[in-house]
Structure 1
Amino acid sequence: MTDTDRAAAIADIRAFNRFYTQVIGVLEEGLLASEYSLTEVRVMYELAHRDEVTAADLARDLALDPGYVSRLLARFARRRLIARVASPHDGRSRLIRLSKAGRAVYEQLDRRSSAKIGELIAALDGAGLARLTGAMQTIRATLAPEQRPRDYILRGHCPGDMGWIAHRHGVIYSQEYGWDERFEALVARIAADFVDNFKPHRERCWIAERDGEFLGCVFLVEKDASTAQLRLLLVEPHARGLGLGKRLVDECIQFARVCGYRSIMLWTNSVLHAARHIYERAGFVLEREEKHHSYGAELTGQYWTMTLQPVVPARSTHA
């Protein structure tokens, strides 16, 4: 990144910060039409959701000055919003909890916050809401990758998956590349053909999910007796960076070898840089390109192939 690019990025982020802080009302004298500041409400949130916390814990976890936290808690104590009790693990430590009055104040602020956000997103349709939350998840994953959950499972397809796969392809490719609904229609046809002609011993669909949430997918289908075709690789924006795309492609390659395919082919477009990088690192080779106009865009289609080494059965050690 050049100094010019970095300066432009800083300016964009600062502009977004000014916009967002105004939208959510943190510039007001009291947050959510209350007498409490943003920091005070944030501390109340921590106290409402943690059973055992000390002033030192709050200062450390919220990156606040310990003296400032002490003064803030003293104010809460004067208003009888908190109670302090001895720690059962260390008699020298004092645990801080919301009092009954403090919890009532917090719950009222929590309801106001939810109502305010509800008003903010009221005009958004499903696609707009998904775009908004996806962008927020991307920001979190980019700026704080250590907070990004990394556990997910891979499973086979089940009823309801094909419609969701078509939907998410349509939404994501529209948002990121401007492709129109004809791409979603293509995905729906591919998924329908897969279900109608499914060969369990030669074909497979993998769904990646975490706590029931769809994270991505890929298909491997029979092109001909010796060739498999990799199709519909997709990773949700907020799940990128987990190595999920590589994992899905590796599953396809391993399964193709076990099935006895001699090669795998795939068709993609040159604008899909992240996917192309995964294919290249996995060992696929670009065979040819062709210009085409599809989904409302001028594109360059690419054909990639991989030659597979056959699986050699383990040799028996018995005579």
Structure 2
Amino acid sequence: MATAKPHTPIHEMRAFNRFYTNLIGALDYSRHLYVPYTLTESRVLYELAHAPRTDAADLRSELSLDAGYLSRLLAKFERDGLVERAPSTADPRRQRITLTARGRDAAELLDERSRESVGSLLTDVPAADRARLASAMRTVREILEDGRGRGTRRERHESAADVTLREPGPGDLGWIVQRNAAVYAAEFGWNADYEGLVARIVADFAQDHDPHLERVWIAEFDGRPVGCVMCVRDEAPGTARLRLLLVEPAARGLGIGDRLVAACVEFARGVGYRELTLWTNDVLESARGIYQRHGFVLVAEKPHRSFGADLVGQDWLLPLHERPS
């Protein structure tokens, strides 16, 4: 009689890897997800479209690719009109890679196929379990990232120093809508209702806002937007509302969310608002941690069904008449 294998972390991880590899492989095969590109080519296109750094050296490090192989792949992309290569503005010794319009179209097509593939998988998951699934997967990623390390202390410090906050330029408001929709669909399975909400919020700001009392910040890293937040007037007199805090997944861990919230708080305090409020959902654990660090207090919460999911909405409040200790 065979002895049952103990369920050690190694055993569980290997079992999960087999299960997930088979699951994703079946989805990829049935939908020809990467055609006409290989999996590695698709990964490079995705990084070029979403990662804050696009130097060849950063791509090689992020994707653990051989330097010669990556060079040949980028040369192929350049011949096909997908990328352009030039010396980095920050360091001429490094080579910066940027997508052409054709390359961005290709990356968006692959991204759309991936969203549809994952969406088809989530259709078989009960709505009540989707938030739990997303939270569990995020926990796995965070634990393994912490264990492996996310670059040296010096590298993280230098990356954080490269982030700048600026006012939105042409196209940035549209970027806020597109990235909010894509990120929350990928991470929580939210449907187009959320994109519609974000589009209305952004359109209202674009069409009618008081620049002295309302602002938008774009976090920029290596010449590309990687985060955003808004401060707008609330219906209650003397109250401002923080809205649409977002940090790109590839740029998390650099303190960008903290800097965006700090900018919003300081602006609201500086122009004379008495309090700053916000509405969020309990599944957004990282964002809630940022709000707490800046002194926001949970004042109300209520279950609701929105964006195709069962959620718990939360109202948070920060008095602005004195600085938190």
| Structure-2 residue corresponding to 1:245 | 257
Indicate if the aligned counterparts of 1:215 and 1:235 stay in contact, CA closer than 8 A: yes
Q: 1:145 aligns with which of 151, 164, 184?
A: 151
1:110 aligns with 2:116: no
1:125 aligns with 2:109: yes
Percent identity over the alignment?
Answer: 43
Equivalent residues in 2 for 1:197-212, closer than 5 Å: 197-212=208-223
Report deviation, 1:291.
1.3
Report deviation, 1:209.
1.1
Indicate if the aligned counterparts of 1:262 and 1:310 stay in contact, CA closer than 8 A: no
Quote the RMSD (CA, aligned, Å): 4.1
| Structure-1 residue corresponding to 2:296 | 284
| Structure-2 residue corresponding to 1:165 | 176
Distance verdict in 2 for CA 1:179–1:15, change over 3 Å: closer
Report deviation, 1:212.
2.1
Indicate if the aligned counterparts of 1:208 and 1:215 stay in contact, CA closer than 8 A: yes
- The letter of the residue matching 1:8 is E
Report deviation, 1:8.
2.9
Report deviation, 1:221.
0.5
Report deviation, 1:282.
1.0
Report Cα offsets for 1:28-71 as digits up to 9, x if no partner. Answer: xxxxxxxxxxxxxxxxxxxxx99xxxxxxxxxxx9xxxxxxxxx
**More displaced, 5-14 or 157-166?**
5-14
Structure 1-normalised TM-score? 0.59
User: Which structure ranks higher in relative contact order (CA pairs < 8 Å, sequence separation ≥ 6)?
Assistant: 2
| Structure-2 residue corresponding to 1:268 | 280
| Structure-1 residue corresponding to 2:271 | 259
| Structure-2 residue corresponding to 1:296 | 308
Report Cα offsets for 1:118-167 as digits up to 9, x if no partner. Answer: 9xxx79825248879xx9xx998964423563321110012211111100
- The letter of the residue matching 2:12 is A
| Structure-2 residue corresponding to 1:186 | 197
Structure 2-normalised TM-score? 0.58
- The letter of the residue matching 1:239 is A
Distance verdict in 2 for CA 1:220–1:10, change over 3 Å: farther
- The letter of the residue matching 1:208 is A
- Where 1:125 maps in the other structure, the secondary structure is helix
Distance verdict in 2 for CA 1:129–1:110, change over 3 Å: farther
Q: 2:224 aligns with which of 190, 196, 213?
A: 213
Distance 1:282 1:298 in 2: 28
Distance 2:193 2:13 in 1: 34
| Structure-1 residue corresponding to 2:12 | 8
**More displaced, 249-258 or 218-227?**
218-227
- Where 2:185 maps in the other structure, the secondary structure is helix
| Structure-1 residue corresponding to 2:242 | 230
Distance 1:109 1:272 in 2: 39
- The letter of the residue matching 1:169 is N
Distance 1:253 1:112 in 2: 43
Distance verdict in 2 for CA 1:237–1:108, change over 3 Å: closer
Larger Rg: 1
Report deviation, 1:110.
1.4
- The letter of the residue matching 2:311 is L
Number of matched residues?
A: 222
Distance 2:238 2:8 in 1: 51
| Structure-2 residue corresponding to 1:31 | none
1:155 aligns with 2:162: no
| Structure-2 residue corresponding to 1:37 | none
| Structure-1 residue corresponding to 2:100 | none
| Structure-1 residue corresponding to 2:46 | none
Task: Give structure 1 stretches of 5+ with no counterpart.
Answer: 24-48, 51-61, 63-105, 312-319
Distance 2:305 2:16 in 1: 33
Distance verdict in 2 for CA 1:12–1:192, change over 3 Å: same
- The letter of the residue matching 2:263 is E
Distance 2:107 2:254 in 1: 33
